[in-house]
Structure 1
Amino acid sequence: MPVTTLSAAVHITPVVIHTFFSHGKRKAIKYKEGNEEEESRDDIFFDQAFNIVRAFIELGIRNTVESLQAFTNTHVPAPYWAAVSPVRIPLSSCNAAADLLIEWFGPEELKHVVGGERWWQVRGLDGLDAEWITQKEYLDHGDPIPEDKNKLSKEDKDILRMEKLETVMLYVHGGGYFWGSVNTHRYQIIRFARKIKGRAFAVNYRKAPQYPWPCPLHDVIAAYLYLIDPPPTALHKPVSPSKIVFAGDSAGGSLCLTALTVLRDMGVPLPSGAVLISPWVDLTHSLPSVMQNTETDIIPPQGFLAKPSPLWPVDPVPPKEGRAGPTTTDRPPEPGHADTLKPSEPRLEKDAKGDTRKHKLHSQEEMLQENSTSHENGDSSKPGQDQEYDIDHWEPKPPKVLMNDSDATPLELRSQIQVYATNEQLTHPLVSPILQGSLGNLPPLYIIAGDGEVLRDEIMYIAHRAAFPQDYPTRAGVLRDARRQKENVEKFTTPTKVHLQVFDGMCHVLTVFTFTESAKYAYRSIAEFVKHVTNDPASGQPFPDVHRHPSRSSTHDLDEQYPGRSKKGVPSKHQKAPENQEVERVEHNGILDEVSDVVMFTASVDELAAAATSTAEERVIAGKAKDDAAFVMLRDRVNIYGRIRPMEPREEIPALQIKASQIGIIKEDPCTRWWKGQQEWDKRFMKKAERAVKERAKIKAKAQRLLENARKQGLLLVREGEDRQHPRFRDASEARSTSANPVDGTIQEDRRWGPLDLDDENPPLSAIAKRRDTLEALALLKKSIYHSAPVTHATVPKLKPSDAVRAAFDPHDDPTRPPKQSVSEQQRKANIIPMHGLRIWNVLVSYFMKEKAKQAAAYVRGVGERAGERAGVIEEQKSTASR
């Protein structure tokens, strides 16, 4: 059964029931054992939400990639209190972003690492979908609309009314790079817009595996350029970079960080800051928490697998030698590394001679020693060498896995392990930004992570890398293989100012769980950061004072009404907290200072509130941080009630003790776990995989027939060097189809490339731009021929009648309009039933929040009534005494 609202309900209902009983049982055991340690999952609402989200992701990976994408990219209506205005970022902005990336990569890297400069610019839609989002209460509907704009739709008029909201959050959603959309995250983004009292701009970037790296990165950069340099057709005015903050979660957080490095390298004005929520920055899974925190996170232990379909995996049926196994090839690559995408001349010559002699397979230690010697002698695969060779005569060897036992023969991977990028691309700094040559000279970063998530270590590591680049250098092999990264180490040396917060007991992307105290604190702190860097960028202090007194309800400010009250995590004036619980640690150029936060929880809430108003300079001893330029990093831990405490010294954090040579390499434990999970999937879905292979062959035959008919009907392409003025070519303005829909059938001047322009390119095997064996690839091909042709097409042929009749009976096609494009790019409309699973989730979350608000309000009323009764008793006693 595909991922639908019904299937999700069927799958999740038993989980809800089981959690209800297991939660009570677990708390009873804790009570019986006298265990008073408070955990995030002691809250029944969080425990239920945690298991629901984890169950939904498990349902997703038991279905096809297309099914999960379609469900999470189905349009969900916005709530009545939000103003949501969809826009389409035009091809001109996408082209500007492409030019920037082409210059960043350079011709050699484009050819041998990316696979070309054209395929990732091919898209089905006439641009990129995005949304302007804010609260309706922030719009003044009394503002006059210019007369020439009166015919605009309500949504377009709202864009004009948003202009007075200067602060803009450019939000990039998460979802493992292959699922999720503006629909899954819209309620979170609305909350951010309300908190920052500004507007958000959410981008629905293309997803892998149909549009793998660097397609999503291309789209994020296009969205930023659209904001700061809008085309004439845009309704908004140029937004100053100083008023923009990047924000993203998981894969979206990594895309934000990666886009910042590209903009920095190319000299484009940077935004004022970035919020990274659980960013996925290491696709090799080389740090320990990826193995240690599987029980406390929502991410599946075996990673994101999928039920086989014509689209994914690349090999539905496992290769004869298996998806992984003991290595059958000697060096290169060395253990732990993927092969280089650009071979050395000696190796190329050796492969061209057909050297098929069997080599003795060495142990891992012997391979590493031999590779080390080869590097010293210059006889290795150094991608930076300047030489000519024929790439068609060479293919990378499978990556070898770094084993725990140095005497073992390394495993080698024979299948693609990540949806987003090929195995050889996983260590590229624009895929795994943890391997960036430099993370310096970036705008201030506010980075948050859950202590229970599998990505915790890589998040902590990259935060410290940005703030202390000299202490956490990039692995030497990365710099050797990438010219630009080597230059960046020397070019960008100014430490980036970072605020890192790790939340106790929280899982991946804690902002999903909006009703928890941790999430409320995170939303509030993110909003303060955004408002601070956009409204007061010249202050010199990179972060606002986020050290507040206890988390407050979003609907009732209980602390202000009853400052002396006591609640969990908030000592009253008569209570004491554990010694040193509220000591702030701030690092300045690597020096750790401990500063009492005026009181150490021995004061009242009012006194704590007064202390919280002190500036960072006032709280740092000896004036060591009075020069804001010397400020480097804030490091906090946040408990389940939204109270902060200092993070332990760097030398006590295991993830920060790992050598640079061990970062970003492929290791045995996570690979073995993925391999076992994939073996289970291959066994469970063996027949489905075989059907997927047959389906591919049928679709490929359809594509071939489509191309043959199009050529017979007059399809002509402009080849390089040909003259467009030749009589056989029609001018673009005249090249119209005679199909039933007069709007379509044009050659678009801003559409540079199509699926028929990629003969000399080598995109990843999953990319639909050059594929002909999936329904989505077929839809993309048909649209580029008959509806939205690139400038390389000289004609737009008329659809053959027999093809039109066939299209009328095809649920995936239409004879009068362009076929629906990939669900990884184009939103789907909801079915007849207007209620969608994503909307149900948001309704449930809102319900839980309202229930907690009611409880809080009842508590306040109770406190007030009891206070009133006590006041009456005291007054009566005074009256009696006076008498």
Structure 2
Amino acid sequence: MAVDPKDIAALTPKFLSTVYKHFKNDVPDSNWDLKLHLGVAMLRGFLQRGKHKTIEKHQKFLGKAHLPSSPSVSVKKAVVPETCRSQAEDIMAGLLSGQEEKVGWRWKDDPMKQSPLKGEWVETKNRKKSTAADRVILYIHGGAYFMGSAAQHRFLIQKVAKAGAARCFSIDYRLAPQSPFPAAVVDTLAAYLYLIQPPADAGFDPINPKHIVIMGDSAGGGLALSLMLVLRDAGLPQPVGAACWSPWVDLYHSLPSIFSNGSTDYIPNGFVHKASPANPIKDYKNVQERLERVQYYAYNSALSIPYVSPILSDDLGGLGEIFITCGSGERLRDESILLAHKAAKTHPEIFNCNKPGVRSYPPTKVSLNVYEAMPHVFQLFLFHPAASDAIKRTGAFIRKIIPEPTNDASSCSSNSSFSSPHSSFSSPPCHKHREKDVSTNLNVLKQKKSSSSLSSIQEYIDEVFDENDDNGEINYFSNKHIDVKGNCKRVNDMLDEGTLREWMNMLGKLPDLEAHPEFMDI
């Protein structure tokens, strides 16, 4: 889709002024090179200009805009059956029982369900030649819950697929404000059910949840964690882990970095758009009306529901292993850091993990990587060394939690079956033809002498991830600070207890926007 010439004309002065500022050393962060400075300025300008367009026009443009795929990448379209979505709806209805008033709308009657839930498989064409493992990434795109598409994020997805030697399945979940919460969660849950129990004509066998990583960026990262909570709370099989880039997990904007990092991020001061049929905020210049619904994704009354703001869950334990990447210069930095501490239960006394009469889960294993000076989802800037390093580390995480299989049949581990009032699932069978495929792939690897390559990859994984502490016990919390070149500067820095308590007290409350009028600026 062609770019609007008016947008190019409007952003040209921004381009020139950014170049001038950079060479005058007027840079938001001294670690930024000119390319990154320009990238952040242009993206901020695009999002800022988008506020003066209707949501419908913004969605239409971003839904079609995407970069072409590499010739080495295979893209196959798919449709998730409505039976999966109906199943997901029943599960969500059970979890949200008694909270219908907070949700705020008749979500089961959403007319947008008339459109099929579309997805696509993305993988490198030589994947089976480079690995004997069947790794599957369920990728959930970002876009503040109201914009973006699977195709738009394909240029990132294909990079992660290659780094993790995996195949990715991504979907076009329903967008807000036409379909607020829980529509997006229902659609992502439907996609997960589709993977672990596909219909006979899906073209693939049921996928072992232990071979699935849920991944997302920004709002997609928040959805990934919401889906993990849904699966845990509903008693469904958990995926082996989740990889989240700059996850948006606090829709209250409670924490300090939302304001303190405004100059080093491209996220604008609040997402608002001009009046349109889809827009619940009819007058985007009316501050009071905007405060009555601060997010397009959910009504104010629903922001405290953990499946909307995962960081507000009473207990973030009992989940698959989580890998989180964020930038020290982004507005959502603090919520990534606090979520990592809370999930790993680094300070149980602060996070009230043992409430009387409430089930307590074991700590979730979390790896947190904070990149110096980087903005929100800096992986978008593929030209930058930090972006390349973050993608490489994400791939290493995926390879680590879904390792290469051994020759014996024990590598096909079974999953415990479960049942619910809505459905009954069982583990995917360990098919003989799969064992044959694994054996064939291993022979191909040997013939091509690629075992040395796999060995070097394993050495990198061992170097990046510290599995045990000095006493041989599991490290549930790992925190690395990485510089702009991708070099690890500091390891396992712990946030002090005073700051953790202060941030915990801030959660679940809208910030003082009168004290920060810049956040409501157009």
| TM-score normalised by L of structure 2 | 0.82
The match for 2:46 is: 56
Determine if contact 2:365/2:476 at 8 Å carries over to the other structure: yes
Render the CA deviation track for 1:770-792: whole Å, top value 9, x for unaligned: xxxxxxxxxxxxxxxxxxxxxxx
Letter in 1 for 2:118: D
Distance 1:180 1:87, change over 3 A: same
Identity of aligned residues (%): 31
Aligned twin of 1:250: 218
The alpha-carbon deviation at position 239 of structure 1 amounts to: 0.9
Quote the residue 1:460 is aligned against. Answer: 337
Aligned partners of 1:274 and 1:635: how far apart in 2? 16
Specify the alignment match of 2:275 in structure 1: 308
Mapped to 2, the partners of 1:671 and 1:222 lie a distance apart of 42
- Which residue of 2 is the match for residue 504 of structure 1? 372
| Structure-2 separation of matches of 1:647 and 1:627 | 17
Indicate yes or no: 2:41 matched with 1:73.
Answer: no
Alignment-mate amino acid for residue 342 of structure 2: R
Contact preservation (8 Å) 2:368, 2:480: yes
Aligned 8 A contact 2:275 2:281 in 1:
no
**Is residue 425 from structure 1 mapped to residue 393 from structure 2 by the alignment?**
no
Question: In the alignment, is the contact (CA less than 8 A) between 1:651 and 1:657 conserved in 2?
Answer: no
Q: Distance in 1 between matches of 2:307 and 2:244?
A: 16
Quick one: distance in 1 between partners of 2:256 and 2:325? 18
2:119 to 109, 122, 130: 130
The aligned residue for residue 348 of structure 1 is: none
Aligned to 2:391: 523
| Conserved 8 A contact 2:79-2:119 | yes
Paired residue type of 2:182: P
Alignment of 1:753-772 (within 5 A): none
Q: Give me the whole-angstrom Cα distance separating, in 2, the residues matched to 1:519 and 1:614.
A: 16
- Residue 288 of structure 2 corresponds to 323
Relative to structure 1, is the Cα distance of residues 442 and 309 closer, same or farther in structure 2, using a 3 angstrom cutoff? same
Check if 1:185 corresponds to 2:150: no
Assess, with a 3 A threshold, how the Cα gap between structure 1 residues 458 and 414 changes in structure 2: closer, same or farther. closer
Q: CA deviation at 1:669?
A: 3.3
Kindly provide the amino acid, as one letter, of the partner of residue 20 in structure 1: V
Q: Corresponding residue for 2:17?
A: 18
Report if the CA contact (8 A) 1:93-1:231 is conserved. no
Mapped to 2, the partners of 1:139 and 1:418 lie a distance apart of 43
Letter in 2 for 1:288: P
Q: Is the 1:291–1:670 contact (alpha carbons within 8 Å) kept by the matching residues of 2?
A: no
- CA deviation vs aligned residue, 1:49-79 (integer Å, no higher than 9, x gap): 1212111111212211111111110164533
Q: Shift of the alpha carbon at 1:269? A: 0.7
For the structure 1 residues 306 and 113, does the alpha-carbon distance in structure 2 shift closer, same or farther, using more than 3 Å as the test? closer
Alignment partner of 2:351: what SS?
coil
Q: More deviation in 426-435 or 12-21?
A: 12-21
Deviation at 1:3, TM superposition (A): 9.6
Q: What's the CA shift string for 1:373-432, capped at 9, x where partnerless?
A: xxxxxxxxxxxxxxxxxxxxxxxxxxxxxxxxxxxxxxxx76311111111111121111
Does the aligned pair in 2 maintain the 1:53–1:298 contact within 8 Å?
A: yes
Contact 1:171-1:200 within 8 A present in 2 as well = yes
Residue type matched to 1:104 in 2?
A: L
Residue 235 of structure 1, CA deviation: 1.3
For 2:126, what is the secondary structure of its paired residue? helix
Structure-2 separation of matches of 1:473 and 1:611: 31
Correspondence 1:444 to 2:321: yes
| 2:486 alignment partner in structure 1 | 642
1:166 aligns with 2:134: yes
Distance change in 2, residues 1:67/1:242 (3 Å): same
Contact persistence 2:479–2:493 (CA under 8 A): no
**Match of residue 365 from structure 1:** none
C-alpha distance in 1 between matches for 2:181 and 2:460: 49
Find the aligned partners of 1:530 and 1:244 in 2 and give their Cα distance: 9
Amino acid at match of 1:439: L
- 1:115-141 Cα shifts (integer Å, max 9, x gaps): 44622485131x20111001123368x
Q: What's 2:508 paired with? A: 664
Distance 2:101 2:461 in 1: 58
- 1:213, 1:431 within 8 Å by CA — same for their partners in 2? yes
Once residues 192 and 185 of structure 1 are traced to their aligned partners in structure 2, the CA distance between those partners, rounded to angstroms, is 11
Q: Over residues 714-772 of structure 1, what are the superposed CA-to-partner deviations in whole Å (9 max), with x where a residue is unaligned?
A: xxxxxxxxxxxxxxxxxxxxxxxxxxxxxxxxxxxxxxxxxxxxxxxxxxxxxxxxxxx
- Given that 2:131 and 2:404 are in contact with CA atoms closer than 8 Å, whether structure 1 keeps it comes out as no
TM-score by length of 1: 0.50
Question: 1:119, 1:486 → 2: CA distance?
Answer: 37
Say whether the 8 Å CA contact 1:434–1:664 is kept in structure 2: no
Q: Distance in 2 between matches of 1:20 and 1:13?
A: 11
Runs of 4+ in structure 1 over 6 Å off: 162-165, 536-539, 609-612
State how far apart, in whole Å, the 1-side matches of 2:210 and 2:504 are. 34
Amino acid at match of 1:260: M
5+ residue gaps, structure 1: 31-36, 141-161, 325-412, 476-484, 540-608, 682-883
Distance 2:178 2:365 in 1: 36
Deviation at 1:617, TM superposition (A): 6.4
Contact 1:287 1:655 in 2 (8 A): no
Distance 1:514 1:676, change over 3 A: closer
Change over 3 Å in CA distance of 1:206–1:474 after alignment to 2: farther
What does residue 470 of structure 1 align with?
348
Structure 1: how far apart are the matches of 2:284 and 2:387?
42
Amino acid at match of 1:514: L
Instruction: Judge conservation of contact 1:284–1:664 (CA < 8 Å) in 2.
Output: yes
- Equivalent position amino acid for 2:144 in 1: G
- Correspondences of 1:365-404 after superposition (within 5 Å): none
Aligned-pair CA distance for 1:229: 0.6
The letter of the residue matching 1:473 is F
Note the C-alpha offset of 1:667.
Answer: 2.3
Farther-moved stretch of structure 1 (115-124 vs 287-296): 115-124
CA distance in 2, matches of 1:614, 1:111: 46
Query: In 2 relative to 1, CA 57–615 (structure 1 residues): closer, same or farther, beyond 3 Å?
Result: closer
Deviation (angstroms), 1:91: 0.5
Structure 1 residue identity aligned to 2:216: G
How far, CA to CA, are the matches of 2:464 and 2:218 in structure 1? 33
Taking structure 1 as reference, are residues 182 and 610 closer, same or farther at Cα in structure 2, changes over 3 Å only?
A: closer
| Shift, 1:39, TM fit | 3.7
The equivalent of 2:254 in structure 1 is 286
Q: SS of the counterpart of 1:447?
A: strand
SS of 1:56's equivalent in the other structure is helix
CA shift in 2, pair 1:80/1:21, >3 Å = same
Q: Alpha carbons of 1:471 and 1:463: their partners in 2 closer, same or farther (altered >3 Å)? A: farther
Tell me if the contact between 1:104 and 1:266 (Cα under 8 Å) persists in the aligned partners: yes
Once the two structures are superposed, what CA deviation does each residue of 1:684-704 show, in whole Å capped at 9, x if it has no partner?
xxxxxxxxxxxxxxxxxxxxx
Among 100, 105, 128, which residue is 1:110 paired with? 100
Q: Supply the AA of the counterpart residue of 1:650.
A: M
Q: Output one character per residue of 1:518-540: Cα deviation in whole Å (capped at 9) or x when no partner.
A: 1111111100100110126999x
Gaps of 5+ in 2: 412-458
| Alpha-carbon distance in structure 2 between the residues aligned to 1:163 and 1:650 | 36
Residue identity opposite 2:473 in structure 1:
D
8 Å CA contact retained: 2:133, 2:403: no
Deviation at 1:486, TM superposition (A): 7.6
Residue correspondence of structure 1 range 736-815 to structure 2 within 5 A: none
RMSD: 3.2
**Structure 2 residue 457 is the aligned partner of structure 1 residue 627:** no
1 CA distance for matches of 2:195 and 2:138? Answer: 9
